[in-house]
Amino acid sequence: NMTLRIDQSLLELLKEELTQAKKIILTSHYNPDGDAIGSVLGLYHVLKQQGLNAEMVSPNDFPTFLSWLPDASNILIFSKDKLRVEQTFGDADLVICLDFNGYKRVEGMSYLLEVTKAKRVLIDHHPEPESPFDIKFSFTEVSSTAELVYEIASQLFGDNAINYDSAVSIFTGIMTDTGSFSYACSRERTFEIAGKLIAKGIKVEDIQSNVYNNFSENRMKLLGFSLAERMKVFPEFKAAYIWLTKNDLKKFKYQIGDTEGFVNYPLSINGINFSVLFTENDSYVKVSLRSRGNFPANEFSRKYYNGGGHKNAAGGKSFVSMDETLKQFEELLKIHSNELNA
Ligand code: 5GP
Ligand code: MN
């Protein structure tokens, strides 16, 4: 039996809170990815089928490659609809936080998590939860939060509680967080759950196409430009980075989500184990880090970019100019040369 072992009393506590709550909020992190939206929707469809009253909230808009997901249009967007989201938080009894481990990950919406009278539930696969939560489901061994949603929902209500819409959402979360089952999925159980979701009638080819064959022409050209003109490779440190200025993004009519996945490309160069994407916006340089093997991207991000994440996939921010950020980074590569070459 490969089922994830979850403390029974924790599950009972959650079930009690869910059934007593008059309003439940499901939310995830700023700049939501496939796992964030997939987890929120995956659990939403389960709760809805149980006759529970759940509302979904995202701190900001999600990429269009996720907008086809069933009921994605019901997700309230804090950055566009602040009052409505504040009202929703005002009479919620339970807030379920999916795919993030600290309030600051919802950016400008964090005050709502801080002041809410609702009980806070964490469902997440990032290491070391930072903020207070009343009920914590924190498991780093699962591929994705979506996988954890399957485990929790099926242990609470049985496998039948995962309907087709929930299965599509959960599969999308697992698929996107594992790069289509290519990393963070070395456990047999991840594939067993994928099989159980396929048994619900989902079409893997269609989900793949909806997510990955749905880009704009501008996005493809931005990718080409990034690799041809904005990538710097350091074979001596087994590292590479890509940088994109505000102007670059403007030139290619950047839409939210367009740079998703860019950071992975340098890792496919022979001998490159550490890749960083620097993206400039109005307030800071967003830093996105990926590594292969032992180099801890999350520690690097925590130390230098006020961020965090997983060992092989992390994010953070730099508050100096792009030029300064890149110069600093090249110095950091020298400082970390030994670990990068280990
Ligand atoms: P991405 O590079 O796709 O934005 O994020 C990669 C991973 O790092 C994700 O698991 C994400 O949750 C985490 N992450 C991204 N940005 C931040 C950040 O600013 N702070 C922390 N703690 N984690 C982040
Ligand atoms: Mn995730």
Our separate counts of H helices and E strands in the chain read: 13, 12
DSSP 242-259: EEE-HHHHHHTT--TTTT
pLDDT score, position 141: 97
- In this prediction the ipTM stands at 0.95
Q: Give me the average pLDDT of each 10-residue run along the chain (342 residues).
A: 96 98 98 98 98 98 97 98 98 98 97 98 96 97 98 98 98 98 96 98 98 95 98 98 98 96 97 98 98 97 97 97 98 98 94
pLDDT score, position 64: 94
CA distances from 73 to 55, 76, 104 (A): 12, 8, 25
Distance of CA 98 to the CA centre of its chain: 9
Quote the CA–CA distance of 62 and 263 in Å, as a whole number.
19
Q: Percent of the chain having pLDDT more than 70?
A: 100
315 lines ligand 1 (CB under 6 A): yes
Which segments of the chain belong to CATH 3.90.1640.10? 8-212
316 lines ligand 1 (CB under 6 A): yes
308 lines ligand 1 (CB under 6 A): yes
Angle formed at CA 212 by CA 210 and CA 218, multiple of 5 degrees: 110
Class of the CATH-defined domain 217-341: alpha beta
CATH number of 8-212: 3.90.1640.10
Which segments of the chain belong to CATH 3.10.310.30? 217-341
Quote the CA–CA distance of 311 and 8 in Å, as a whole number.
29
- Probe ligand 1: pick from 107, 126, 306, max atoms within 8 Å of CB? 126
pLDDT tens profile 243-263: 999 999 999 999 999 999 999
pLDDT score, position 330: 98
Query: Is residue 317 within a helix (H) or strand (E), and if so which, with residue range?
Result: strand 313-318
Closest approach atom of ligand 1 to CA 260: 3
pLDDT tens profile 173-186: 999 999 999 999 99
Residues whose Cβ atom is located within 5 A of ion ligand 2:
35, 99, 144-145, 177
Taking the model in full, what pTM does it have? 0.96
Quote the CA–CA distance of 58 and 35 in Å, as a whole number.
13
CA of 308 to the centre of ligand 1 (A): 6
pLDDT score, position 1: 84
Region of residue 320 (phi > 0: left; psi between -120 and 50: alpha; otherwise: beta)? beta
pLDDT score, position 88: 98
Which residue matches tokens 């903020």? 131
Closest approach atom of ligand 1 to CA 305: 19
Residue 39 near residue 8, CB atoms below 8 Å: no
The overall longest dimension of the chain from CA atoms, in Å, is: 58
